[in-house]
Amino acid sequence: MMISAHSLCKQFQSDGRVIRAVDEVSFSVRPGEVYGLLGPNGAGKTTTMRMILGLIKPDSGHAEIDGFRSDRDPDEIKRRVGFVSASAGVYQWLSAREILTFFADVYGLAPEEIEPRISALGELLGISPFLDQRCATLSTGQRQRVNLARALVHDPPLMIMDEPTLGLDVVGSQVVFDYISLLKQQGKAVILCTHQLEQAQRVCDRFGLLFRSRLIHEGTLDELRTQTGQADLVEMFIELIKEPDAASQPATSPSGKP
């Protein structure tokens, strides 16, 4: 079981200008591996993730999971992916349990599987106490945990996490990163996009550095150190942004955050 992106390309038009958001990005992730997709704002991380999931149609290239291609069987891809993003909201007027039941149903879980699954996730993510509370009354951290549970409800082999800790405090982020480690142990593949570089350095097995819509470095931390000559991710980033000729394309993301 392999997750791979093949030469993903995406252009956007903005005010008559053509902007290259993602340019020939290819990488692959193995089960049990956490892949850190890192880069400065506007490098094309979010667009790449959305293309893998089929939320944005690439101009060219495709993603492949378990032999299914995103351009041919988008639903098969969606079925195998759990998706958490910073922008994902919760249904204000439903309780966490209702949201989880709804998504379990949407992803095709059998009715008798749903309750045990929700209880297990509730224990794991510490959301049991407020499972029956209306989501409008939950705190940001609690909501993000509900979202995490929502993404995991169908037990997907791949998790795509787009800044899952945005807006969370230290404890909240820690819960999320602990959980990423747990997913890794369970043999799941994780694509993680974050700006918390130190945490990323701790949980990720391999990294892809996106800069100005291109994947310019890829490898384990050691490999990156050799490639860049820098000691850790933070230094690599600073060095990257300083270099004027790192890429020739203008670096803006018109897709932005919604």
Which residues would be at the binding site for other proteins (CB under 8 A)?
1, 11, 13-14, 18, 50, 53-57, 59-62, 66, 71-76, 78-81, 83, 85, 87-94, 98, 102-103, 105-110, 113, 134, 147, 150-151, 154-157, 254-256, 258
Give me the residue label for tokens 């990423």. Answer: 180
What minimum distance in Å lies between the beta carbon of 29 and other proteins? 14
50 vs 212, which CB is nearer to other proteins?
A: 50
Query: Which residues are registered as beta bridge partners of 211?
Result: 214
* Closer residue to other proteins (CB): 134 or 195: 134
- Shorter beta-carbon distance to other proteins: residue 75 or 198: 75
d(CA 1, CA 10): 26
- Give the nearest distance from C-beta 60 to other proteins in angstroms: 5
Closest to other proteins by CB, 109 vs 125, is: 109
For residue 135, give the nearest of 174, 91, 196 by alpha carbon: 91
Distance CA 76, CA 156 (A): 11
Q: How far is the CB of 217 from other proteins (least distance, A)?
A: 26
Which lies closer to other proteins via its Cβ, residue 196 or residue 255?
255
CB of 75: closest distance to other proteins in angstroms?
4
Give the C-alpha separation, 243 to 204, whole Å.
25
Contacts 24+ apart (CB under 8 A), 101-106: 103/150, 103/153, 103/154, 104/153, 104/154
